[in-house]
Amino acid sequence: SVVIVNETYAREVKDCVRTRVRKLTDGLALITLICDERLEETPGVTAFVYGRLAASGINILEERSCWTDLSFVVLQKDLARTLE
């Protein structure tokens, strides 16, 4: 499982799950695109967004897609370029 948590609570969460933490990464940004319901019937939207990020050299570390929401995690240092 992956847990994404604000840095404010990272230590508390890590203490709760202790030995089950394989990796703790700081300096990440979570971006959520909330799209129109037409997204559900439009092929290639996710591929388009991810392709543009890849072409810009931005790596997606984690992703989640749920109906009209597309959420992904990038490095904080890449946030400004990601939003462009």
Q: Order the strands of the 28-34 sheet from edge to edge.
A: 28-34, 69-75, 62-66
The three-point CA angle 53-71-41 to 5° equals 90
pTM here is 0.79
Phi, psi of 22 (to 5 degrees): -90, -30
Rounded Cα–Cα distance for residues 18 and 35 (Å)? 37
pLDDT, one tens digit per residue, over 8-65 is 888 888 888 777 777 778 889 999 999 988 888 889 989 999 999 999 999 999 998 8
DSSP designation for 56: T
Rounded Cα–Cα distance for residues 13 and 71 (Å)? 21
